[in-house]
Amino acid sequence: MNTNKSTKHNNYNESALVTNPDEIAMNQQLEKNFIQKMSAQLNNNNSIDGSLYGKYDVKRGLRDANGAGVVVGLTKIGDVQGYEVNERKEKVAVDGKLYYRGIDVEDIVNNCLADNRFGYEETSYLLLFGELPSQKQLEDFKKVVGMKRELPLGFPRDMILTAPSKNVMNKLARSVLALYSYDENPDDTSVSNVLRQSINLIGYFPSLIAYGYQAKRSYYDNESLHLHYPDPALSTAENILRLMRPTGEYTDLEAKLLDISMILHAEHGGGNNSSFTTHVVSSTGTDTYSTIAAAVGSLKGPKHGGANVEVLEMMADMKENVKDITNYKEVEKYLVKILKGEANDGSGLIYGLGHAVYTISDPRAILLKKMAKKLAEEQNLIDDFMLYDFIEKRAPALYMEIKGTEKPMPANVDLYSGFVYNALDIPLDIATPIFACSRLAGWCAHRIEELVAGGKIMRPAYKCVQPHLRYTPLAER
């Protein structure tokens, strides 16, 4: 047996290091040219004739021809109703409804408002366990979650502050993955262990978001670092505001409005992209941290969780270009420019309107609007609130006039969550992370449901439309 250690390969080659400035510049230019050239080839070699989707009856985007989602599973957790399908398989518009475990979310919100109490924790209990808690059960649940508000010892310093990210959602996903290393039993997928991990994450998320945001502000924006300890006695919404703000101060109405927003974002059926991601990844038998990090990555996409940010950016751009937001003629002119692709981001879209499922109305927008008006009155933001109200009422007709679309364009939850985040002075950087914190309870419920009722790894089929080719030897190319 050869015991000579000097015979081992050393992958680190000092001679490969380039230090000559001219050679570095040449290599950088070579890389740039290569990427630019090959990108064009990628576009060409990965394009697929759109007619093939119809030829092979492929449900593009997992949607039927009428736009309805393809049914890929069964769930007891959430139900989204925005239309009915008649005997001719045509979509018929109906008022939007959202149910959590069979209970109308409107009833949940209205009961919390009537009792003047926070409701996200009750909502989380309902989603996780499938039934409403008694007073004792709710208090026990809140206490257990409260015990998990503070992150593991050393985690904020070692995993967040020393490795900040420009994007808080990116930092959130990495933080969730890092928690795997702090778990003594991370890979056990038994229901009891996954429930423990789910409760831990629900407790941790406000701190993960706030510290990730503070690290970003300090490192990339050269702002002061403000770190507060979470309070186990406070609700999720209160802890978010406490940890986010330099002084840690907030009003009861502010916290209650954020709480309502979180209730309305907590679940939206198994068909939304991030909840579906949770089912897909859970079906492989992987750990909770990998699953929730994947869901965060899904929500990070601007076509999914980033929509509320687009509303905030659109409204900021509107205020820069419309001198008087109470002059609705000028506002309308600006909305027309948006639809013609001449304003905002050039997309031709007025964000905060329309939905893939809801047709006549989005129940979340209706509920959030009522609370938003109260906050507007308290903070003297009525002009801003009425601007959103005008967009909700006038923009759908403008869509028809300018674009000729007949698709209903009701206000969706992103429109008024945009107003709420503005009124609460929530930075753009954490608008989507707060959405993730809200949706976490739903994700955890879907993960448990998949582990209990799924049983099979999800393996969809793709039809290959690439013709078979002869391999050409290198010397002949």
Residue 450 located in a structural domain: yes
What's the whole-model pTM score? 0.91
Assess whether 141 and 242 both reside in one domain: yes
Domain assignment of residue 223, yes or no: yes
In this structure, the answer to whether residues 146 and 280 fall within a common structural domain is yes
Note whether residue 202 is domain-resident: yes
Instruction: Using the structure block, give the residue that is written with the tokens 């002059």.
Output: 327
Instruction: Say whether both 319 and 393 belong to one domain.
Output: yes
Are residue 172 and residue 295 in the same domain, yes or no? yes
Give the residues across from 80 on adjacent strands.
Answer: 98
Q: CA–CA separation, 318 vs 338, rounded Å?
A: 10
Q: Quick one: which of 277, 278, 209 has its CA closest to 437?
A: 209
209 shares a domain with 138: yes
- Segments of the chain with pLDDT less than 70: 1-16
**Residues 438, 361 within the same domain:** no
> The CATH number of the domain where 412 resides is what?
1.10.230.10
Quick one: 247 and 385 in the same domain?
no
| 194 touches 291 (CB < 8 A) | no
Q: Which structural domain, as residue segments, surrounds residue 153?
A: 131-261+273-302+428-454
Amino acid at 291: T
Distance in angstroms (rounded) separating the CA atoms of residues 470 and 57: 29
Residue 88 inside a domain? The answer is no
Q: Is 224 in the same domain as 360?
A: no
Q: What are phi and psi of 78, to 5 degrees?
A: -140, 150
| Token pair 């740039």 in the structure block, residue | 32
What's the pLDDT score for residue 157?
Answer: 95
- The strand pairing partners of 63, in sequence order, are 69
Kindly tell me the sign of the dihedral angle through the C-alpha atoms of 322, 412, 368, 293. negative
The total domain count for the chain is 2
Q: Count CB neighbours of 400 within 10 A.
A: 12
Q: Are 364 and 264 in contact (CB under 8 A)?
A: yes
Burial of 33 (C-beta count, 10 Å sphere; 0-12/13-18/19+): exposed
DSSP 18-85: ---HHHHHHHHHHHHHHHHHHHHHHHHHH---THHHHHTT--GGGB-TTSPBPP----SSEEEEEEEE
The pLDDT value recorded for residue 3 is 47
Radius of gyration of the CA atoms of the chain, in A: 25
Whether 10 maps to a domain, the answer reads no
Asked if residue 329 and residue 189 are part of one domain, the reply reads no
Q: Are 413 and 263 in contact (CB under 8 A)?
A: no
Q: What is the pLDDT of residue 395?
A: 95
Q: Could you tell me if residue 464 is inside a domain?
A: no
Co-location of 146 and 289 in the same domain = yes
Q: Which of 390, 419, 415 is nearest to 332 (CA)?
A: 390
pLDDT for res 177: 98
Residues 206 and 292 in one domain: yes
Helices within 247-306 (DSSP H only): 252-265, 273-282, 288-300
Q: Which of 236, 284, 257 is nearest to 441 (CA)?
A: 236
The answer to the question of residue 90 being in a domain is no
Largest Cα–Cα separation, the chain: 88
Q: Report residue 215 CA to chain centroid gap.
A: 21
Distances (CA, A) of 208 to 95, 168, 178: 37, 9, 11
Q: Classify residue 208: in a domain, yes or no.
A: yes
Shared domain for 224 and 330, answered yes or no, is: no
CA distance 78 to 442: 8
Instruction: Please count the CA atoms within 13 angstroms of the CA of 172 that sit on its side-chain side.
Output: 32
| CATH code at position 144 | 1.10.580.10
